[in-house]
Chains A and B, each alone.
Chain A
Amino acid sequence: AQSVTQLGSHVSVSEGALVLLRCNYSSSVPPYLFWYVQYPNQGLQLLLKYTSAATLVKGINGFEAEFKKSETSFHLTKPSAHMSDAAEYFCAVSDQGGNKLVFGAGTILRVKS
């Protein structure tokens, strides 16, 4: 069975500061890993995905994530936070068959001016 743990249900950063959202996964098979963002009253939007190619994955809006097999981690980072980054972020794992995604509980990012 696959699972995802997101450390920290709420993260607060100042505008311009580094954003680091943590995700650890458990999977018995090589995983596909995803980060989604959800703005209030909107659907989930894909930020980036890891599909066994490059371990450093770049996504939209300046976000990136690094797959570290030894640490079973897929943390999301952005060098400089913007007010528009305030949202809820979900990490998800899938097997390579892509039958379904298993999501973490989410991390709400707050950006302070």
Chain B
Amino acid sequence: DTGVSQNPRHKITKRGQNVTFRCDPISEHNRLYWYRQTLGQGPEFLTYFQNEAQLEKSRLLSDRFSAERPKGSFSTLEIQRTEQGDSAMYLCASSFVRGKTGELFFGEGSRLTVL
């Protein structure tokens, strides 16, 4: 399977703990996106990378959130000192863009539950 892969699929943690999610995009895709989806809402943009450069961050991404894509391949999203409001599905998507919009391919998501 060469789709977007996300791990872990589910994470249950206690408030105040740190969590990290990993996303492996489709090989050779130059853009990688992180979205957050809460119940009853559409995905909300968090941040995106062009290769290894983080080009935009949403105001939703507080200083407790950090994302990296160190070698322009996989990416990690870390949430420090988790709060109950962080409970959501975290979606990763990748695309190949040359000039205009490339189709986004989404992974199955990582569901976070903060107790």
Give residues in A with beta carbon < 8 Å to B: 4, 6, 9, 32, 36, 41-46, 49, 51, 90, 92, 94, 96-106
Contact = CB atoms under 8 A, between A and B. Distances in A.
Contact of B45 (A51, A90, A98, A102): A102
A90 B6 CA distance: 21
A105 B43 CA distance: 8
Contacts of B42: 4, 6, 90, 92, 103-106
- State the majority secondary structure of interface residues on B: loop
A64 to B, nearest CB: 17
B109 interface: yes
Interface string B81-115: 00000000001010101001111111111000000
Contacts of A51: 100-101
B33 A44 contact: no
A96 B102 CA distance: 10
A105 B101 contact: no
B103 A43 contact: no
B69 to A, nearest CB: 15
19 contacts: A4-B42, A6-B42, A9-B40, A32-B101, A42-B108, A43-B109, A44-B91, A44-B93, A44-B106, A45-B106, A46-B104, A96-B101, A98-B95, A98-B102, A99-B55, A100-B48, A101-B45, A103-B35, A106-B42
B90 to A, nearest CB: 12
A4 B95 CA distance: 21
Contacts of A49: 103
Contacts of B33: 100
Contacts of B44: 103
Contact of B43 (A32, A90, A96): A90
B56 A99 contact: yes
Given A43-B4, A101-B45, 4 more contacts: A36-B106, A44-B43, A98-B100, A101-B104
